[in-house]
Amino acid sequence: MNVFYLHFPQNNYLCGSAISFYDAQTQDILYEKIQENKQKLCIAQLNRLKKLCPPPEASACEISNAWNTIFHNDQSSKRMKKIVFQGKKFAPYLDRVNSEQELEELFLEFLKQKFS
């Protein structure tokens, strides 16, 4: 049986320990996935992997599908979120702004001044 954290030391001990509950073939698949994608698994990703493909064994297809789901979700969560303002607090000022574009430009100007 492979000891995952010895093969791939940049993953932490907890990830290696958790992956060791899988059979040797599944460990090899996970090892290859991590090497080809050059990605480090965090605990949250590993927990999602274990939920989608519970130990002790998972097929290469199941691992690939789970892997794509996990990392696709992580990438989509890193996308920028839309900013929403509460109308009551900004009502006295919004009638002075002609459009959303102008409001966006004012807000960006404020941020540049604030953080420069």
Higher pLDDT pick, 16 / 2: 16
pLDDT of residue 109: 92
Per-residue model confidence as pLDDT tens digits over 80-107: 567 777 778 888 888 888 888 888 889 8
Q: Report the b/e string of 44-66 with b at 16+ CB within 10 A.
A: ebbebbbeebeeeebeeeebeeb
Confirm if 62 and 31 have CB atoms less than 8 A apart: no
Q: Is the pLDDT of residue 27 over 70?
A: yes
Question: What token pair was written down for 115?
Answer: 């953080």
* CA–CA gap between residue 63 and residue 45 (Å, rounded): 13
